[in-house]
Amino acid sequence: MTPETSEAPPTKWRHAVTTANKWRHAVTTATEAGFTHFDWLDCSDQIGRTEEFCLTLCLRHGDPYRGEETLIETSIPRDEASVDSLSDVFPGITWSEREIADLFGISFTGGDPRPLLLPPDFGAHPLRKESVAAARVAASWPGAKEPGDAAPSRRRMVPPGVPDPEVWGARDADAPEPDPADVAGSAEGGRVRRRRTR
């Protein structure tokens, strides 16, 4: 007797985009349509393109043989980084919401406000693009984006995640605070801008 095998159908994707104030309604509508399995919740910082975060939720259909998934996206303004919690709809989403709150500084209204990964007094949100990779700032970089990639050059370089010193860091004390978009844009790594003396 040979065991029977059945192939799962290929995944069929649906994609919905909603506003932050309709986030909860869009998700409950999807659950009513049968998308009752929480898969993942993710966030990305859109600074440099828009002044928003993009929050994406992936739900799977309750019937695994249907092979259907839906992505629900919303944009959250940086200056009002708050959206409704879904912890009463999907209890397993609490960890993801707390992680995103720690790393991006987004508040989930009605959710668990306790920090998950960072100490309460950490003071920064490390996955915001204007947040600086402090460990890389402290290391000297010989002329390549990654250590060991190339021989040292005469012109200093900074690694990815470290803003150009002209934008962030040891600057003139009278200079205004840098714009978060400028900090994020200069943190791509590469050659340091030369200071002009007049």
User: What is the chain's pLDDT, residue by residue, as a tens digit (198 residues)?
Assistant: 455 555 655 678 889 999 999 999 999 999 999 999 999 999 999 988 899 999 999 999 999 888 899 999 999 999 999 999 999 999 999 999 999 999 999 999 999 999 999 998 888 899 998 887 666 666 665 555 555 565 555 556 666 667 777 777 666 777 777 777 777 777 665 555 554 445
Label residue 81 exposed, middle or buried (CB < 10 Å: 0-12, 13-18, 19+). Answer: buried
Asked if 30 and 96 sit in the same domain, the reply is yes
Q: Is residue 47 part of a domain?
A: yes
Q: Is residue 5 part of a domain?
A: no
Specify the pairing of strand 52-60 against strand 68-77. Answer: antiparallel
User: Could you tell me which residues come within 8 angstroms of residue 122 by beta carbon, excluding any fewer than 6 positions away?
Assistant: 102, 115
Asked if 87 and 17 sit in the same domain, the reply is yes
Give the per-residue pLDDT at 149.
60
**How many separate domains does the chain show?**
2
Asked if 97 and 145 sit in the same domain, the reply is no
Asked if 135 and 197 sit in the same domain, the reply is yes
Measure the CA–CA gap between 157 and 189, rounded to whole angstroms: 7
Q: Is residue 124 part of a domain?
A: no
Q: Is residue 1 part of a domain?
A: no
Using alpha carbons, select from 122, 126, 94, 121 the residue that is nearest to residue 108: 94
At residue 154, the 3 state secondary structure works out as coil
Give the per-residue pLDDT at 164.
73
Asked if 176 and 140 sit in the same domain, the reply is yes
Q: Is residue 123 part of a domain?
A: no
User: Could you tell me which residues come within 8 angstroms of residue 195 by beta carbon, excluding any fewer than 6 positions away?
Assistant: 166
Give the per-residue pLDDT at 141.
57
Residue 70 structural domain: 12-109
